[in-house]
Amino acid sequence: LWEPRVLSLIAALVTAGLVLMVVRFESQSWTIAVSSCGFVVAGYALLVGRPEVARPEIVMMALALGGFVALRTIRGMTGAVCAAVLLTLAWLFHAEAVWFVAGALFYLAYEERARLLAFMACTLVLGGGGYLLLSAFLGPWFNYNAWDSLVVSLRFNPGELVRYAGDQLLGRLGVLTMAAVLSFALPAAPWLGPAGMWVCMAFATVCAGLFATQSAFAGPQSLVPSVVILAIIGPVSMQRITRHLSAWPGSSRLGGEGVVLAGLSLQFFMFFSRLSTHF
């Protein structure tokens, strides 16, 4: 079945390209942007599982990230409509995207209420209409796979919650996670302003990851959203923290850039330490 494999591969490359564009836009640094793109590729290859296998989560993530990029770069109602279309398509590919819809709604309600109504209306119309059309076209098996199998597979497993937080976020992606957490200590709150949508997306990702661990079908693919969002906010947070510290007397911007490069190198080292296990 090469068609879904090609679709999954294209979605992975699109996601890496979007991450490159977003980090370059937010950090104004090609070094950090290329490193973030490398984090996505390495994370997909070494953490998510076999990259040649078709994954609906990978296609969902490409569409969800595209929706947030549209919301960030396209002003006015046009950006809200484009974001609603892409996020609704992401939800139709995988139910986990409902967390990203909620994250976008929270951001718009907090920062840009003028676009909230247009986003909500488009999401409800497209989501409801798309679900009815797919249900009528594909029959009862669509409803079963979309809802019944998901609900039946849920079970409370606190051990998986701890493993997701400890082994995956703080272990395999520990450098990026700690940089994102430390950014909350900066005088300028990272969740405020236009760039605050990435923090909202990060919270949605954590909720999606915790929820995914409670499914009997949970696997390495549940780490897809975490890899992507931490590849964005992790390096950007490193840069903001070091720039703030380099403004203090006795510090230099060159030294701060060296710390950023050291942090990025450490995360690459953690990725490459998985090579022996992967092979």
CA 23 to chain centroid: 13
Tokens of 279: 């092979």
DSSP states of 118-153: HHHHHHHHHHHHHHHHHHHHH-HHHHIIIIIHHHHH
> Mean of the per-residue pLDDT values for the chain?
86
- Tens-digit pLDDT profile for residues 158-173: 888 888 888 888 888 8
- Tens-digit pLDDT profile for residues 197-251: 999 999 999 998 888 888 877 777 888 899 999 999 999 998 888 887 776 666 6
CB-based burial of residue 200 (10 Å sphere; 0-12 exposed, 13-18 middle, 19+ buried)?
buried
- Tens-digit pLDDT profile for residues 90-113: 998 888 899 999 999 999 998 888
- Tens-digit pLDDT profile for residues 116-133: 999 999 999 998 898 899
In the predicted structure, residue 276 carries a pLDDT above the cut 70: no
Tokens of 95: 């139910």
Q: pLDDT-derived band of residue 255, with 50, 70 and 90 as boundaries?
A: low
Long-range residue pairs from 98-102, CB within 8 A, at least 24 positions apart, any chain: 99/204, 99/205, 99/207, 99/208, 99/211, 100/64, 100/67, 100/68, 100/201, 100/204, 100/205, 100/208, 100/225, 102/204, 102/207
CA 222 to chain centroid: 11
Higher pLDDT, residue 256 or 42: 42
